[in-house]
């Protein structure tokens, strides 16, 4: 068979049900074969969004998302989506078309070295120059994406590979990839540290979300009588209505979460890489704390924070090993009781009903009115941090955001991908007006494919987070952060065939959310919020939590 037919059959055998992309000249043989396939193809309006949709699909389905782009600008547009998935360890197979092998390097029309561009932002990278390797490469790509630490894999396919012959023998060849080695040799040391700890704390990262080990970690916390704090990427992996779950820690985290993180004597860190947004001033982080670091990627152990004990393995396996070693131990409840009291003290009232509309009020009503199986995605900026701090994630709710790369424009296409993966759930993107304008054209994709996602737009007329930093750290000298020419978002959404509603009164928020969730078309809620409202509390970059800017936060636990 021809390479194009082989590529489609290989994807079908990998149980690929949907792909996101835009065709181009070098991809036409491949797309011609897709006509006869049951694989659902979603035509996006920008290749970056194809990457984000595949990413959102992967995070919900726990299977590799597939995105496709043509050569040259198609591939370069796709880079941001792939880099976002790489930073957040999201499994993806990104396929790019390429000019024919005979003209590679000759500056052919729409030629770009996609292989080199993708090299630093993928888990593995292939360029096929021999047609007989096509089946092996496609099979390996899906295995690599989901073996060990998840991540994106890129395949660059020249057009003449699609038109070359592939034999049945080549198609039937089996492939394997090496599995990561577990190292639990220090398990007894970890157990001893935890059972002797007076103030243990568990910090969970994105690895816990991928391993779906949340319920097991809650059980471990109850054994240790230890609080759980989450990184941004782990929000939703443990239920935030459990009394031991303190919420997101770090720069914009809850004060009680940061208190537990900075006052524990033993920190059990699971599936996290200790980013600067969590540690703050790295030289002062965990100076008096013994760290047990669990990660599936051995290179992360001790990379940013030097721990006493490192355990290499997936979160689910290691947590079960710890439970087995600790389940007969009994611990004093002094630290747990202290944390439970502080957690109640940190539960502030953010049902703010003042005028102009406060973003906290919007998040409060989203928490209250979204179903227990809702999926929330976010853009990047103030909207993201308001959601991380105030939105309550429990039950079967999911929280999907761009953490490592902080990609503006991620949330809306990721919401579309999430809706494809779980069409029965309400999917809502908490957006900012800066981020949304980068990807607003994907309303056409959502409408065309009957994907009724909700966009909760926090519209303050500014690049809000950059403005906040200019206000706090640059003497309110604002430059290039105010949007003077923003569109009427309601009319814009309606022009694409979506529903839309403008909301500027606190009393209208709840009803608007209920209406949007029941809509059978994509629906934009244009919340006109107070442009002077900052995301606080906030620990300034490179500072310790003792230098936190609190704003209206009345937290007193750190001085009790």
Q: What is the pLDDT of residues 272-284, one digit of tens each?
A: 999 999 998 888 8
- Residue 336 sits at φ, ψ, to 5 deg, of -60, -45
Coil, helix or strand at residue 255: helix
Distance (Å, rounded) from C-alpha 57 to C-alpha 71? 24
Query: In this structure, how many other beta carbons lie within 10 angstroms of the beta carbon of residue 419?
Result: 27
Q: What one-character DSSP code corresponds to residue 177? A: -
- Sorted by where each starts, the structural domains of the chain and their CATH numbers stand as 3-172 (3.40.50.970), 187-345 (3.40.50.1220), 359-528 (3.40.50.970)
Q: Burial level of 143, CB count in 10 A (0-12/13-18/19+)?
A: middle
Helix residue spans in 197-232 (DSSP H): 206-211, 214-224
Task: Please give the share of the chain, as a percent, with pLDDT higher than 90.
Answer: 91
Angle at 200 (CA atoms; ends 194, 204), nearest 5 degrees: 95
Say yes or no to pLDDT of 66 above 50: yes
Say yes or no to pLDDT of 396 above 60: yes
Are 115 and 125 a contacting pair, CB within 8 Å? yes
Are 426 and 404 a contacting pair, CB within 8 Å? no
Which residue in the block uniquely carries the two structure tokens 């969590």? 278
Distance (Å, rounded) from C-alpha 252 to C-alpha 146? 31
What is the pLDDT of the chain when averaged over all its residues? 95
Say yes or no to pLDDT of 470 above 60: yes
Task: Please give the share of the chain, as a percent, with pLDDT higher than 70.
Answer: 99
pLDDT digits (tens, 9 = 90+) for 38-59: 999 999 999 999 999 999 999 9
Distance (Å, rounded) from C-alpha 311 to C-alpha 186? 7
Distance (Å, rounded) from C-alpha 272 to C-alpha 269? 7
pLDDT digits (tens, 9 = 90+) for 414-468: 999 999 999 999 999 999 999 999 999 999 999 999 999 999 999 999 999 999 9
Distance (Å, rounded) from C-alpha 461 to C-alpha 35? 44
Helix residue spans in 282-410 (DSSP H): 315-326, 334-345, 359-369, 382-390
Distance (Å, rounded) from C-alpha 377 to C-alpha 59? 11
Q: What is the pLDDT of residue 552?
A: 87
Say yes or no to pLDDT of 557 above 80: no
Q: What is the pLDDT of residue 349?
A: 85
């Amino acid at each position: 068979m021809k390479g194009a037919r082989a590529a489609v059959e290989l994807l079908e055998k990998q149980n690929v049900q949907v792909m996101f992309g835009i065709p181009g000249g070098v991809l036409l043989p491949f797309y011609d074969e897709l006509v006869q396939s049951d694989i659902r193809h979603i035509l996006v309006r920008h290749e970056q969004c194809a990457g984000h949709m595949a990413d959102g699909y992967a995070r919900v389905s726990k299977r590799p998302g597939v995105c496709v782009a043509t050569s040259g600008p198609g591939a370069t547009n796709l880079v941001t989506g792939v880099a976002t998935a790489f930073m957040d360890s999201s499994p993806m197979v990104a396929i790019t078309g390429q000019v024919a092998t005979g003209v590679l390097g000759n500056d052919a029309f729409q030629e770009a070295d996609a292989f080199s561009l993708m090299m630093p932002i993928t888990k593995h990278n292939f360029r096929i120059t021999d047609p007989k390797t096509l089946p092996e490469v496609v099979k390996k790509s899906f295995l690599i994406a989901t073996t060990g630490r998840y991540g994106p894999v890129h395949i660059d396919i020249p057009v003449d590979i699609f038109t070359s012959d592939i034999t049945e023998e080549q198609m039937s060849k089996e492939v394997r990839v090496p599995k990561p080695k577990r190292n639990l040799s220090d398990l007894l040391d970890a157990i001893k540290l935890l059972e002797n700890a007076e103030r243990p704390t568990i910090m969970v990262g994105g690895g816990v979300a991928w391993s779906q080990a949340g319920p097991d970690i809650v059980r471990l916390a109850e054994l240790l009588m230890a609080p759980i704090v989450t990184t941004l990427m782990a929000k939703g992996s443990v239920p935030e209505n459990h009394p031991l779950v303190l919420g997101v820690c770090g720069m914009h985290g809850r004060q009680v979460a940061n208190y537990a993180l900075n006052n524990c004597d033993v920190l059990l860190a699971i599936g996290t890489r200790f980013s600067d947004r969590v540690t703050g001033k790295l030289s002062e982080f965990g100076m008096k704390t013994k760290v047990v670091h669990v990660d599936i990627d051995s290179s992360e152990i001790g990379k940013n924070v030097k721990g006493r004990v490192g355990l290499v393995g997936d979160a689910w396996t290691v947590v079960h090993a710890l439970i087995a070693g600790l389940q007969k131990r009994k611990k004093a409840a002094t630290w747990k009781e202290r944390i439970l009291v502080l957690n109640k003290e940190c539960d502030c009232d953010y049902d703010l009903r003042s005028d102009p509309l406060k973003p906290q009020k919007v998040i409060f009503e989203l928490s209250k009115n979204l179903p227990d199986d809702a999926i929330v995605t976010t853009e990047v900026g103030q909207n993201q941090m308001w959601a991380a701090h105030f939105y309550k994630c429990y039950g079967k709710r999911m929280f999907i955001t761009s953490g490592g790369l902080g990609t503006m424009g991620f949330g809306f296409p990721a919401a579309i991908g999430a809706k494809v993966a779980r069409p029965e759930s309400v999917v809502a993107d908490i957006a900012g007006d800066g981020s949304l304008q980068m990807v607003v054209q994907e309303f056409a994709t959502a409408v065309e494919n009957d994907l009724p996602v909700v966009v909760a737009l926090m519209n303050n007329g500014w690049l809000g987070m950059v403005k906040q930093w200019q206000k706090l750290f640059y003497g309110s000298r604002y430059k290039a952060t105010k949007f003077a020419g923003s569109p009427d978002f309601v009319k814009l959404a309606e022009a694409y065939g979506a529903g839309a509603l403008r909301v500027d009164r606190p009393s209208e928020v709840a009803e608007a959310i209920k209406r949007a969730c029941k809509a059978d078309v994509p629906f934009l809620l244009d919340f006109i919020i107070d442009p002077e409202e900052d995301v606080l509390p906030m620990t300034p970059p490179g500072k310790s939590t003792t230098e936190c800017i609190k704003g209206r936060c009345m937290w007193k636990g750190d001085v009790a």
